Amino acid sequence: MAASSSSLHRSYRIGTTPVIPSELYADLDEEEHRHACYVLSGFINQIFGNYVENQSRIVRSICENFGKTLPVHSPNPKQHYGNYRQITKTSANIADSAHAYLAWSYSQFLTQLEKFRDFLSYIDNPTLKSVSHTWLATGFIPRWMAKRFASRWRITDWTWVTNIARGWRKTIENHSIWPSSLGSRNQSHQISSQDWSQAGIILLEEFDHLISQRTQQGLPTQKLAGLWRKIAKILRSGLDYLSVNEIDGLSFNQKVHALTLQDHCGKGNYRSALGLLYAEVLIQRLGTSHISPLLQQLNTEAENLLTSPFASEQGNKALPAIILTSPKYVLTRLNGAAMSTEIQAGRSVFFTLPRRPTTATSLLSSYQPLLTPLHQDRLRDEFPSLPEINKREIANRGSLHGDRHSRTFLRRLLGLRLKRWLGIKLSAHEHYWIQQFDPSWKTSLKAQKLRLVLKIHAKVLEKIKNGATIDQILIHPPRTAAKHTIAVLQLSGSRMNLISAPRNTTLPVPNSRIYVMGYDLNRLSNQAVTFGALDKHGAEISLKSSPLSNMKMVARINRSLRACDLTVSHLQQALHRYASDKRRSGKLAFELRLIHRRRKNLKREAEMLIAQEIYLHCHINSPNIVAYENLRGLSTRGKRGNLAKIVNYMYKRSDALATRITDWYLTQPRAPSLVPVDPRNTSKIHFSCGGVIKRTIQSWDRAPCNRCGKIVNTQHNAPLRIAEKAFSP
């Protein structure tokens, strides 16, 4: 594989450390130096954090003021995103950041608009009348339809489709174009037993016609017959229950009603039958004549119906990052090329505060026409508040280190020193206090500026030294009380600059006879990935185990994943139990999100360890071809019990592993070719004799061969079969 010269981009989060002026605490006792540095570090972090947050509120306000009117005027963003420096009279970084976020959000709006129109056109079909009626009435679409749209739009998560469809329905019902007969999505519906009965009879007649038609064509009818029987049971025994309950759609509480119907109709899962009944009721109520014109009208007015960029109040809590397009406005710094040169030379790079801290009142007087009322109320004083004067503190002047007032005294003293060092005017009380208790600071000082040092991570430093350059810098508003400033460096460069393979201390095998090496992905355990090798004649070559193997760490990750899955099941049961208690269910949902994030991070760590293990074997054995199973689309559908668990805990992202290993090898002059093979029968056929391995749940890893009678290690046999499929002498 030849190295690619195309330009790549990678983004890295970078921490910062405040530069603490030593002259502010040099005259204090040495015992107080450590606490003085801690106090001054907190002050500087708060000043930078409040400053960046205030600037980000200005960016957010500009986006909200201009974003609401964009889709109404024209879909061409160049006519509205122009040069905001002339319109808003703000700095280049503020104007360019607002420009970028408006452009990105409007591009997403156009993409969503295209999907919305495609959705309306697709469901405007007589064969999908149940989908169109239920979506218009409740915002719900069935799972099979959501999966179809996810495949159509190339989206991996089909639940996103159901959520966005429900959001579209809730958004358009507030416009004048929406018919009052359809009502609100949150409106409760009382359906009489006569309506349920009429819908059920119509469904049974349709099912009879479909069953007879499929029987004549020789197609299976078991599922249709099962649904027919469930609908008939509901009509016989469940109409009384359904008629006394208010049903507000079935997207959320369909499972609850289906479980309750078991008490009235007998054993069985009535969820799908209940959904079909409800859809048929809506079809009878709404009719079919005016649905198609309504969908066409929604399609025509789609641009005015959907929420325009930055028009929703839900995103007001999320402040945008500031894009430092110019090195001299929000934070003074070196430009990208000069900063890269300084880092390559081993010198520190800084962010400098361009002005002295100001109050929220003075900031509001400058930017009040741009700020929205919400962000006006949430502006902060950039210099943190100092402790109030305490009589006992003044009496002992903080001289006793064991006294609880000594640190308060020191905090006030250092805060006033920092104010004078920055050139901020002190009040009369503050001036009197510092003259009385700090005589060494009576002389006037030249105003200074605060600085932050970027803490460049070792891997970022390595990439910059390899030739990558800093292309763009973002500053995120603080999200914690500590007010730490976080920067994001976007590096640009070739593949050789940005992608570095894992370091291997083990030398390659000299004169290796391996021609094809195959690897097989198993359960996340000590044998998560196994290897087999063949020479040029197709004969097996034994491989030695590497002392640097990471498989024990993968086994520990597997145990953590199982613990996470157990916690997820408990939390889901608790959510179902406390669904009516919004406060408790909100806390449980938050915990569930944290557990899912933990599972995602564990799987990502396992992916990296498995990829490093494969790369290590490729580096040591130097094969010409590396074969792997193409496991895309592997599913547990139809598999039950232990077999499904085994497949679930396998690592199924073989294509992601192959891509990562290919990227590592593209930075080198010589690399093996990675060949995907068909995964069928790799574990069933014995490599030595070609017999069938009698594999069961009880004998999954070691099973007998029906031809030679040997007990075969299936985890060792599979990579040999994979290598054999890719063998081409």
Instruction: Please write the tens of the pLDDT for every residue from 709-720.
Output: 788 888 888 888
* Mean pLDDT, the chain, whole residue set: 82
For 515-526, the pLDDT digits (tens) are 888 888 877 777
pTM of this structure = 0.74
Higher pLDDT, 116 or 128: 116
Contact assessment for residue 530 and residue 522, using Cβ atoms and an 8 Å cutoff: yes
**Beta carbons within 10 angstroms of residue 456's beta carbon:** 18
- pLDDT, residue 685, reads 84
SS3 351: strand
For 624-666, the pLDDT digits (tens) are 888 888 766 555 555 555 444 444 445 556 667 777 777 777 7
Higher pLDDT, 559 or 70: 559
Residue labelled with tokens 């030679």: 708
Contact assessment for residue 95 and residue 83, using Cβ atoms and an 8 Å cutoff: yes
For 435-475, the pLDDT digits (tens) are 888 877 666 667 889 999 999 988 899 889 888 899 889 99
Sheet bearing 451-455, strands edge to edge? 322-323, 469-476, 486-493, 8-18, 451-455, 350-352
- pLDDT, residue 453, reads 95
Contact assessment for residue 493 and residue 469, using Cβ atoms and an 8 Å cutoff: yes
- Reported as type and span, the H/E element at residue 563 is helix 551-577
- pLDDT, residue 701, reads 73
pLDDT of 395 over the 50 cut: no
pLDDT tier at 121, thresholds 50, 70, 90: very high
Higher pLDDT, 20 or 203: 20
Cα 2 from Cα 658, distance rounded (Å): 16
pLDDT over 90 for what percent of the chain? 18
Alpha helices in 622-699 (DSSP H): 642-648, 654-666
pLDDT of 1 over the 60 cut: no
Section 224-248 average pLDDT: 83
pLDDT of 79 over the 60 cut: no
pLDDT of 372 over the 60 cut: yes
pLDDT of 138 over the 90 cut: no
- pLDDT, residue 649, reads 47
Residue 620: phi and psi, rounded to 5, are: -75, -45
Long-range CB contact pairs, 221-230, < 8 A, 24+: 227/272, 227/273, 227/276, 228/204, 230/265, 230/268, 230/270, 230/272, 230/273
pLDDT of 67 over the 90 cut: no
For 289-315, the pLDDT digits (tens) are 778 888 888 888 888 888 777 876 655
